[in-house]
Amino acid sequence: MVNLTINGKNVRVPEGTTIMDAAASVGISIPSLCYLKGINEIGACRVCCVEVKGEAHMVPSCNNPVKEGMEVLTNSPRARATRRVNVGLILSQHDCRCATCVRSGTCKLQRLANDLGILDTPYAPDLPRTDRHPWPAMFPLQRDPRKCIKCVRCVQVCDKIQSLNIWELTGSGGRTTVDVSLNRRITDADCSLCGQCITHCPTGALRERDDTQHAFDALANPHVTTVVQIAPAVRTAWGEPFGLPPEQADVGRLVTALRQVGFDYIFDTVFSADLTIMEEGSEFLRHFREGKTRIMPLFTSCCPGWVRFLKSQFPEYTPCLSTAKSPQQMFGAVSKSYFAQKAGVDPRSVYSISIMPCLAKKAECSLPTMHDPAYGADVDLVLTTRELDRLLRAEHLPIDRMPPTPPDSPLGTGTGAGAIFGATGGVMEAALRSAYFLATGKNPAPDAFQNVRGMDGWREAEFDLAGDTVRCAVAHGLGNARRLLEALRTGDVHYDFVEVMACPGGCVGGGGQPILGDDQERAADRAAVLYGIDRRAPLRFSHENPEVLTLYRDYLNAPLSEMAEHFLHTDHEGWEMPAAPIRPDLD
């Protein structure tokens, strides 16, 4: 233990504690900006600097451990001046037009400047001086260099968590900024579109492409039937910006709100998650029985960020991806075929909107392989959870007073197995529940495969499936996925079935989820919401979803049938992904 004083208070903390954490332990909060625990501890913004008696320089409290006998002052005149001047300097390189910023209210810089009572920007603006090289407006990930404060959190998250190194600090001198690494354009980069850089950006420099206006345009068109699907993970988080806990901001209340906005049909992606299990589970069982998985595993394909990652980083493994489309795309295909027929509308007039916790879904829906000549795109528009929240805020709805209503039928029923798709390990668990049934004709205990749950980055489990052992692995976060793939490549490990989700924690931690600006990681709490839904669900097996069974009976015939292959499967080789650059320095 180390003894020190902070602002005259005696503090006793374990060795290695940072000054910032030691101060927090006695209720002294030191403001910070660039600091992100475990990820970005580089003392770049100099906002958290404190005065340490006997030291000539001010000391960043985020990355310096306490020492015995230290006397720390966090609110001395020098500390106050340091904080205020440095925030003022940062503001001079920031576009301060907060009224039109997507992060107004959740921006760390705005909050800090407000807290410090900086009512006037003291320094002359020093913003990028050209508009001649604009960011591609259609790319799902948007970057505004005029809002970037060069904290490099995006660089660190992409390097350390996702191992893709898309961002880097470029140039030198006063014009140093963050840009796509190796002087590439973002459209030529191997970005997975996980969106983790966005959710960890302290300001509005990084955001999703805003597509809410397209939704309003569709609502305004009398010739269009709007069909909305809501992804499992959205129900764990959409209420956060409204201050509603998940038990209140459930899917029922969201359905009511979306009806109020005026959408024609509100369905649930949990339905098509169950459908995915029928297809992917059957596909796995076939590969497993044919002995194919003894040579190469089957990879889940629900996560488009993971698919982009695999195609760019380990293209030789692309054939291992399940050919099953993701639940979003399956839903879109079914909404424009089976549903349009059932509802008696022209498939071409159906406008399919999905609400997703994800940026990569925006790219997935516009892939050339996700179109059908009969009806066009499976999914026309993807809104992230954040865009959903903006759309609801634009309507000024009394969210907290709205009664829940169930989704529409016939694509609105989902099981607990489909709900857990939004959490790491959930696809694997749901697939194993149904694979067990398909292999043995009997249901396992619903929680028989809960060993695949958890937040470890790379988990393994073995299960008995009708006398054979299934070796499974689950990874989340692309850095973990890379380690797993490298181990597969060297032959150090072997699995039959592998689930990967690009975002830490799975979709619940997705790059399209709400940002509250408090640097808290919420994936584990949100995942718990999904497992609660599963636990309480009357149906916990995808193969028992009555609407899915009706769909097969009335339209698709059976899993992996010709019709199912046509609508529900895809060719992952049917589109190009920019290859990973050769970077010997990172090997």
What is the token pair recorded at 350?
């159906």
Give which of 192, 197, 196 is closest to 306, Cα–Cα: 192
Instruction: Please report whether residue 10 would count as binding other proteins according to CB under 8 A.
Output: no
User: CB–CB of 362/382 below 8 Å?
Assistant: yes
Instruction: Please report whether residue 435 would count as binding other proteins according to CB under 8 A.
Output: no
Task: State the binding string over 256-275 for other proteins (x if CB under 8 A, else -).
Answer: --------------------
Shorter beta-carbon distance to other proteins: residue 29 or 130: 130
Among 172, 295, 492, 518, binds other proteins (CB under 8 A): 172
CB of 366 to other proteins, least distance (A): 26
Query: How far apart are alpha carbons 551 and 271 in whole angstroms?
Result: 11
Shorter beta-carbon distance to other proteins: residue 63 or 248: 63
Shorter beta-carbon distance to other proteins: residue 54 or 77: 54
385-414 residues in contact with other proteins (CB under 8 A) are none
What type of residue is 234? V
557-576 residues in contact with other proteins (CB under 8 A) are none
CB of 173 to other proteins, least distance (A): 4
Query: How far apart are alpha carbons 582 and 570 in whole angstroms?
Result: 29
Q: How many CB atoms lie within 10 A of CB 395?
A: 13
What is the token pair recorded at 556?
């698709």
Query: What does DSSP assign to residue 569?
Result: B
Shorter beta-carbon distance to other proteins: residue 61 or 513: 61
Sign of CA dihedral 275, 277, 280, 284: negative
CB of 508 to other proteins, least distance (A): 30
Instruction: Please report whether residue 68 would count as binding other proteins according to CB under 8 A.
Output: no
Per DSSP, the residues of 360-424 read: HHHHHTT-GGGEETTTEES-SEEEEHHHHHHHHHHHT--GGGPPP-PPPSSS----HHHHGGGST
299-358 residues in contact with other proteins (CB under 8 A) are none
Q: Judging by DSSP bridges, how do beta strands 206-208 and 71-73 pair with one another?
A: unpaired
Shorter beta-carbon distance to other proteins: residue 49 or 370: 49
What type of residue is 268? D
CB of 157 to other proteins, least distance (A): 13
Shorter beta-carbon distance to other proteins: residue 152 or 539: 152
Run of H or E residues at 141: strand 141-143
Query: How far apart are alpha carbons 582 and 371 in whole angstroms?
Result: 33
What is the token pair recorded at 62?
């985020």
CB of 55 to other proteins, least distance (A): 5
Query: How far apart are alpha carbons 427 and 275 in whole angstroms?
Result: 12
What is the token pair recorded at 51?
């005065």
Size of the site for other proteins (CB under 8 A): 29
Of 21-29, 129-137, 230-238, 375-383, which segment contacts other proteins by CB under 8 A?
A: 129-137
Instruction: Please report whether residue 168 would count as binding other proteins according to CB under 8 A.
Output: yes
Among 170, 405, 409, 443, binds other proteins (CB under 8 A): 170
Shorter beta-carbon distance to other proteins: residue 160 or 259: 160
Q: Judging by DSSP bridges, how do beta strands 265-268 and 371-372 pair with one another?
A: unpaired
Of 167-175, 191-199, 323-331, 571-579, which segment contacts other proteins by CB under 8 A?
A: 167-175
Q: Judging by DSSP bridges, how do beta strands 177-180 and 167-170 pair with one another?
A: antiparallel
Residues in the chain, total: 587
41-60 residues in contact with other proteins (CB under 8 A) are 41-44, 52, 55-57, 59
CB of 128 to other proteins, least distance (A): 7
Give which of 98, 205, 100 is closest to 148, Cα–Cα: 205
Q: What share of the chain is helix, strand, coil (3-state, %, to 5)?
A: 40, 15, 45
Instruction: Please report whether residue 14 would count as binding other proteins according to CB under 8 A.
Output: no
What type of residue is 469? T
Among 63, 92, 318, 561, binds other proteins (CB under 8 A): 63
Among 17, 18, 61, 64, binds other proteins (CB under 8 A): 64
Instruction: Please report whether residue 129 would count as binding other proteins according to CB under 8 A.
Output: yes
Shorter beta-carbon distance to other proteins: residue 162 or 272: 162
Query: How far apart are alpha carbons 6 and 214 in whole angstroms?
Result: 53
Task: State the binding string over 174-213 for other proteins (x if CB under 8 A, else -).
Answer: xx---x---x------------------------------
Task: State the binding string over 99-128 for other proteins (x if CB under 8 A, else -).
Answer: -----------------------------x
Shorter beta-carbon distance to other proteins: residue 58 or 399: 58
User: CB–CB of 356/385 below 8 Å?
Assistant: yes
Give which of 529, 214, 233, 239 is closest to 383, Cα–Cα: 214
Query: How far apart are alpha carbons 570 and 329 in whole angstroms?
Result: 10
Residues that bind other proteins (CB under 8 A): 41-44, 52, 55-57, 59, 63-65, 128-130, 132-133, 152, 168-175, 179, 183, 585
